Structure formats: C-alpha cells, structure tokens
Amino acid sequence: MSLNVTSLKAAFGKAFGSGLMQKDLDTEFLVPSKTDAEFNLVPTELTQIRRAKTSVDQVLQAFQAAATPVGIVSIEPRSIDLQDLKYELELDPDEIEDSAVSFFADPDNNDRKSWGITKYVMNVLMIQKGRENFELHEAYKGVKAAIVPGSASALGASFNGLGKKIAEDIVSGAVTPVNGAAAWSTDPVDFVGELETWVEACKATSEINRSIIENMCDKIHMSQALAARFRLGMKLKYNVNYAQVGDPLSLFDTPNLSVSGLPSMSSRNRVFMTFKANRCAYIKRPKSEKDCGISEANPYKPMIYAKFWKALGYWHPEYVFVNQLV
Amino acid sequence: MAKGKNTPQSLDLASLSQEELLAKATELQASNEALVAKVSDLEKVIDELSQANTVKVTGNEISHEGKVFNLVTPRFYLGGQLITKEVLEADASLVAAAIEYGNLVEITKE
C-alpha cells in the first residue's frame, strides 16, 4: 500500500464525509537544500558543462635590445558532468475515498491522476522531500553505487557528492589539503583559534593563495554543528569587551570570510573554502522536477515520475582549500 | 702514537716454550673472536639506528621504524610547507607530524 491512511481511519473513522480540508493538513518539516543555494544552482540544458582556465607564466623581464621572448600561455580544460536522478512514486488514491480526507478524492472522475491527492503529493510532498533527500544524503555524502536493474537505489548511493569529489581530487593531487588541527577541539573558544590558525596556514601556502583568501573567498563551509561551535566561540572569545564583533560568524582577522553550516556536511570534520565563482551547481530540466509526469499503466494507481540531472562541485581545484580531516 | 690497552705487545717468540706459545695462540684467538662479536653487535646497533631514521617509499606506502604507513593525502601543507613523499623521504622528522595529523595511516597487516 503506497498510500497509508490506516491510522487516520482508525482514529477518525470511515466514510466521515469531508471531515478535513486541505488547510487542516500539516506537511512534515522538510530541510531545504542549502548546499544547492550556496553553490549557486543554475538551470542548464547540457549534461556536461565545460569551461577552460587560461594562464601564462613569467612575462616580465629586464630590457635589452635583443629579442628574448618569455612566457608560455596555457589553456586547460575544465568540465563537470551532470548525473541523472529521478523521482518515481506510485499512489493508490482509492484508499482515501472512505476516509476523513475524502475531499481529496473525486469519485465522479475516473481519471485518478487529476484527483486532489495526486496533485497534492506531486506538487507539495514529493518535490520538497526530494530536495531534502538530496541535501541530507547525496549533496555531500553521496557515493553512487552500481545500479541494480529493477531495484531503487538506496539513499546516499544515487549521486556522487561533493565529499567524494574532494576525496578523489586529494588522491589525484588536484586538491592539496592544508593541515588544520589533528582533531577539532570541542571547546568553542579553542575551536575558533584552531580555525583561525587553519585559515592563516592556508594563506601561508603562497602569496597568490593569500590574495585569494583575503580578497575573494567569502565562506568557509562546514557542518552545522561546527558552525554553531564557531559562533559560540566567537561570542566567548571576542564579544566580552567593548570592541565586539558585529557578525559572530565572520572571522576576526579575515572579516570577508564567514562560516556557513551546511546540513549536507553533518557529522563531518572537513572544512571547505573557496570563492563564490568557483562553486557551482547545475540542474538540467528543472521543469521536469517541478512538473512531473503521471503514468497510468494501472488506472487505479497513478505513478508520478520526474527525471532530472544535477551536478555540484567546483571549477578549479587549485583554488579549493580543505583540511585533512574527513 | 699512544698505545691502547688492546695494542699487541711485542713478544720474544724464541724465548717461549711450545706450551707457552700454544697458550698465547689460544688467548689471541679468543680475544679475536670477542672482537668480531663486538663488531657484529655494533653493526646491528648501527643498522637499527639507520632504520629508525630512514623513510623508505614504495609507491604510496612508507616504511618507518619498522612500521608501514599509507600516505592518505599525496600532497599536503604543514605550517605553510608543501609535504610530499619525497620531502618525507628526505626528512624523517616530519613523519611523526604526518601521523599525528592523519596524513599517514598505519597499515595493519594480518
């Protein structure tokens, strides 16, 4: 039974007429995808997005009359593949006909895909839940498993998330972690100090990196628990005297940087820092995610479905700063 | 040159009887064997010391002080310094820090 109203019928009885209205229905609380927003989700029609990075080495030299050209211009490819995902939910709307939510049924209409319950599940419940599933299980922690034909993939095994990309880039040498504390302190004040030390260690890696961090980077992403620890630590460390920090989530010495807790990174010790233009998220066919298809292979059990593609990542791994903890 | 206690004394072999010569020869052989044993002990100590202070890199595996570690992050920054396996090989004193920060994880072999 894909539509469960057993407890509703037990409590409110059967064939109650229209006992409830849509205004009486509370939706379960769902976590929106903050990671999508922080990574600048953009719609696209492509399944692979391509860019390139141009660079040139030394061009400056002392004058001499002889021609002595220096400098090699490089154009390196960058690409991000979108990964395909789907929603697929089957309903048996007849279950509600003799229940307190029978207003959602339309017995005069045989076309169950136009019943209120079908529209409600499609437009209100499924899409929001899909975004929560993505945020909590796939956006950072997802590791795509091989498809088992005929079986739905498990949560966390449907999409290769940001954590996997970072781990792979560390192994390939594209991302070089900057060692922070061997383990983050649970004392908020100590944690603020450790994060400040880590940012300074990132700056110390090169003058180019120092310039990027001090002028371009805007956020340090981490789990919400670590972000809350940072906020409390800032309050205890700095906001006890006259000169108080206005925003307890921004760093004292590098005020352009602020800490942002992501639900997707829960229970992880990694901290991630880069500039806004380097973070990217794409979605192909957003209309499909919102305007789902309805299949009537079985006229009594409409199946709501939507296929779409998503990507989440960064363009230039050399401008990504992470610590060594996972 | 000052003579050490182990410097052989000159012997007037002609004045010694056969028994005395035999005894002397046995004594010399014993001290020679003791010296060889001491040298071998010293070589062992030198081996152990050099083992302790070297880092051997094989692919992604690093041996140090008789233990084998996996280099989790092939490149990482430690206090602004870029560390690679070549750097670890050249400076064994960095290995302890790499272990502490989790860049090196000991491989437990069954």
Under an 8 A CB cutoff, do A178 and B75 touch? no
A 179-218 residues with CB below 8 A of B? 179, 182, 201-202, 204-205
Model pLDDT, residue B14: 76
HSE at residue B68, side-chain half, CA atoms within 13 A, is: 9
Q: Which residue matches tokens 């849509």?
A: A22
Residues in chain A predicted with pLDDT less than 70, given as ranges, are 1, 15-18, 242-243, 286-290
Residues in chain B predicted with pLDDT less than 50, given as ranges, are 1, 3
- Tell me how crowded residue A157 is: count the other CB atoms within 10 A of its CB: 16
Question: Measured over all CA atoms, what is the biggest interatomic distance in chain A, rounded to whole angstroms?
Answer: 98
B98 to chain A: closest CA residue: A179
Distance from CA of B82 to the nearest CA of A (A): 8
pTM of the model: 0.83
B100 contacts on A by Cβ (under 8 Å)? 182
Under an 8 A CB cutoff, do B103 and A179 touch? yes
CA atoms of B57 and A75, how far apart (whole Å): 34
Under an 8 A CB cutoff, do A324 and B73 touch? yes
Under an 8 A CB cutoff, do B80 and A173 touch? no
B103 contacts on A by Cβ (under 8 Å)? 177, 179, 324
CB-nearest to A324 from B79, B82, B102 is: B102
Q: What SS3 class is residue B5? A: coil
How is residue A36 written in tokens?
């999508």
pLDDT digits (tens, 9 = 90+) for A267-295: 999 999 999 999 999 999 766 556 788 88
Q: Which residue matches tokens 């400040």?
A: A196
Distance from CA of B84 to the nearest CA of A (A): 10
ipTM of the complex: 0.80
CA atoms of A245 and A45, how far apart (whole Å): 44
The backbone torsions φ and ψ at residue A59, rounded to the nearest 5 degrees and listed phi first, read -125, -20
Under an 8 A CB cutoff, do A176 and B73 touch? yes
CA atoms of A82 and A308, how far apart (whole Å): 9
Q: Is the dihedral of CA A158, A163, A169, A173 positive or negative?
A: negative
Query: In a mutagenesis test of the B interface, which of A171, A175, A179, A269 is the best target, namely the one with the most B β-carbons within 10 Å?
Result: A179
A167 to chain B: closest CA residue: B73
The backbone torsions φ and ψ at residue A153, rounded to the nearest 5 degrees and listed phi first, read -75, 155
Q: What is the DSSP letter of A96?
A: G
CB-nearest to A324 from B76, B80, B82 is: B76
Distance from CA of B2 to the nearest CA of A (A): 57
- The per-residue DSSP string of A219-242 comes to EEEEEHHHHHHHHHHHHHHTTTSS
Under an 8 A CB cutoff, do B77 and A325 touch? no
Model pLDDT, residue B1: 47
Under an 8 A CB cutoff, do A201 and B103 touch? no
How is residue B51 written in tokens?
């083992």
Say which residues have a Cβ less than 8 Å from residue B31's Cβ, sequence separation at least 6.
Answer: B6
Under an 8 A CB cutoff, do B77 and A201 touch? yes
A210 to chain B: closest CA residue: B80
- Tell me if chain B has a CB within 8 Å of the CB of A176: yes
CB-nearest to B101 from A171, A182, A202 is: A182
- Tell me if chain B has a CB within 8 Å of the CB of A240: no
Model pLDDT, residue A196: 96
Distance from CA of A41 to the nearest CA of B (A): 30
| CA-to-CA separations, B38 to A3, A274, B31, B33, in angstroms, rounded | 85, 61, 11, 9
Distance from CA of A173 to the nearest CA of B (A): 6
Q: What SS3 class is residue A206? A: coil
Q: Tell how far CA A303 is from the center of its chain.
A: 27
Under an 8 A CB cutoff, do A324 and B79 touch? no
B72 to chain A: closest CA residue: A171
